[in-house]
Amino acid sequence: MKLIHCADLHLDSPMESNLSPETARERKSELRAALARLIRFADDNGVEAILIAGDLFDSNHITKSTEKYVLELITAHPDIRFFYLAGNHDRGSVLKTAEPRPQNLFLFGDGWTSYDMGDVTITGSERPDGDTLTLSPDLINIVVLHGQETRGNGAQKEDIIRLGKLKNKHIDYVALGHIHEYRCAKIDERCVACYAGCPEGRGFDECGTKGLVLLTTDGKKLTHRFIPHATRELHAVSCDISDVTSQLLLEERVIKITEHIPSKDMVKLVLCGTASANTVFDFVRLRGILAERFYFAKLKDESRLQIRPEDYRNDISLKGEFVRRVMASDLKDDEKERVIACGLRALSGEELGL
């Protein structure tokens, strides 16, 4: 038997904090398409069940078109069973109240609920209590949960799960949702717990390879493997400009360090290091180069400005007078750097903003 473990699709996520409105709309559409591609993959590979470990939707308020699309996808694949456990973002999900509910859609509630698939039992709970979980040692047991073990990443009390309480419970695999990257850990000699991660990254805090977990059972044991399945990958790339002395050298370095990234992907380029105050870069031009090479690109300047007051002590130019006045001001050191950097770009005839 083959099963898919996925989680955290966050359908109808706005995604406008990093993207332009047009690109955000395209990515919202691609998130919906990611679910369809995942189901096609299941269909093509003889998968009998898809385990969705929470946050299928980004909130309880989703568009009617997305609600209809998801229900139609499930209904259109009656040979695949969908086991859906709501996460912290979608505990009021429309799938829990849909009428009529697709016959191949199975839900979990606050208490432990188990479903029999022959040699495999699938059990889940939105508010799990490991102390009350009882499973047969003779079956392959899969447990579906959503949450994390600590209060980090904005987790609320109800999002905390105690994996330690699942030890020696005859579990073979814990299908987890909530953490947006693939992670795997042994719970005991028999049990492994995995976060599938999100099938598609939405922002640059979700960089790296995204996909799904394919589970395979032979009636006696269970194996799993992560399968990359995202339309686009997000990359955060740092570029040290400490020894870069011209615009041409900067462009060549940026092209070099991003040449391995496919053009369909999304890139955040962060400039770092210490730049000379005498070197003025055209960030508008640099942003244009990135925009030509990738589906979406974001440029951020976190470099420091190397300013030596003695270099401007006897400089009678407008630039020298400007630097001396800023250095003598009451501004904080980082504020002085930003003001001088903007001023030097303006004096050189460059556009100011990134």
**Which pLDDT score, from 0 to 100, does residue 348 have?**
64
Query: 171 falls in which pLDDT band (50, 70, 90)?
Result: very high
- The arithmetic mean of pLDDT across residues 179-203, rounded, is 95
**Which pLDDT score, from 0 to 100, does residue 349 have?**
63
- The arithmetic mean of pLDDT across residues 122-150, rounded, is 92
What stretch of H or E contains 21?
helix 21-44
**Which pLDDT score, from 0 to 100, does residue 351 have?**
55
Using the 8-state DSSP alphabet, how is residue 88 labeled?
T
Burial 196-230 (b: 16+ CB within 10 A, else e): bbbbbbbbbebbeebbbbbbebeeeebebebbebb
**Which pLDDT score, from 0 to 100, does residue 153 have?**
53
**Which pLDDT score, from 0 to 100, does residue 269 have?**
97
Least confident of 65-69, 156-160, 234-238, 244-248: 156-160
**Which pLDDT score, from 0 to 100, does residue 199 have?**
95
Round to whole Å and give the CA distance between 238 and 353.
19
**Which pLDDT score, from 0 to 100, does residue 152 have?**
55
Q: What is the largest CA-CA distance in the chain?
A: 87
Residues of the chain with CATH 3.60.21.10: 2-228
Query: 206 falls in which pLDDT band (50, 70, 90)?
Result: very high
pLDDT digits (tens, 9 = 90+) for 332-354: 877 777 787 777 667 766 555 54
**Is residue 61 within 8 Å of 25, Cβ to Cβ?**
no
Residue 306 has pLDDT above 90, yes or no: no
**Which pLDDT score, from 0 to 100, does residue 155 have?**
52
Who wins on pLDDT, 331 or 34?
34
Mean pLDDT computed over every residue of the chain? 89
Residue 158 has pLDDT above 70, yes or no: no
Round to whole Å and give the CA distance between 74 and 11.
15
- The arithmetic mean of pLDDT across residues 254-272, rounded, is 96
- The arithmetic mean of pLDDT across residues 32-44, rounded, is 96
**Which pLDDT score, from 0 to 100, does residue 168 have?**
94
Residue 151 has pLDDT above 70, yes or no: no
- The arithmetic mean of pLDDT across residues 26-30, rounded, is 92
Residue 67 has pLDDT above 80, yes or no: yes
The CATH class of the 2-228 domain is alpha beta
Least confident of 11-15, 36-40, 202-206, 339-343: 339-343
Round to whole Å and give the CA distance between 169 and 162.
13
Q: Assign 36 to helix, strand or coil.
A: helix
Residue 37 has pLDDT above 60, yes or no: yes
